[in-house]
Amino acid sequence: DVKVTQSSRYLVKRTGEKVFLECVQDMDHENMFWYRQDPGLGLRLIYFSYDVKMKEKGDIPEGYSVSREKKERFSLILESASTNQTSMYLCASSSGGHSNQPQHFGDGTRLSIL
Amino acid sequence: KNEVEQSPQNLTAQEGEFITINCSYSVGISALHWLQQHPGGGIVSLFMLSSGKKKHGRLIATINIQEKHSSLHITASHPRDSAVYICAVRIRGGGADGLTFGKGTHLIIQP
Is there a contact between B103 and A103 if contact means CB atoms under 8 Å apart? no
Is there a contact between B95 and A56 if contact means CB atoms under 8 Å apart? yes
Work out the minimum CA distance from B111 to partner chain A, whole angstroms: 26
- The mean per-residue pLDDT over the stretch B6-35 comes to 95
The pLDDT of residue B27 is 85
Tell me the per-residue pLDDT of B51-94, one tens digit each, with 9 for 90 and over: 999 999 999 999 999 999 999 999 999 999 999 999 999 887 65
Work out the minimum CA distance from B66 to partner chain A, whole angstroms: 19
From A44, A50, A106, residue closest to B96, measured CB to CB? A50
d(CA A7, CA B73): 34
From B30, B42, B96, residue closest to A48, measured CB to CB? B96
| CA dihedral over A85, A74, B25, B87, signed as positive or negative | negative
Is there a contact between A108 and B42 if contact means CB atoms under 8 Å apart? yes
Tell me the per-residue pLDDT of A72-108, one tens digit each, with 9 for 90 and over: 999 999 999 999 999 999 999 988 765 567 889 999 9
- The mean per-residue pLDDT over the stretch B103-110 comes to 96
Sheet holding A73-78, edge to edge: A4-6, A19-25, A73-78, A64-70
AA letter at B30: S
Q: Are strands B105-110 and B10-14 parallel, antiparallel or unpaired?
A: parallel
In which element (H, E) is residue A90 found? strand A87-94
Most confident among A47-51, B25-29, B36-40, B104-108 (mean pLDDT): B104-108
The pLDDT of residue B1 is 56
For residue A44, the tally of other CB atoms under 10 A from its CB is: 15
Optimal mutation site among A9, A59, A105, interface B, most CBs of chain B within 10 A: A105
Contact A22, A7 (CB under 8 A): yes
d(CA A86, CA B1): 23
Q: How many angstroms separate the Cα of A106 from the Cα of each of A25, A34, A72, B14?
A: 9, 10, 13, 30
The pLDDT of residue B91 is 80
The pLDDT of residue B94 is 58
In which element (H, E) is residue A93 found? strand A87-94
Exposed/middle/buried for B66, CB within 10 Å: 0-12, 13-18, 19+?
exposed
Work out the minimum CA distance from B75 to partner chain A, whole angstroms: 24
Contact A49, A63 (CB under 8 A): no
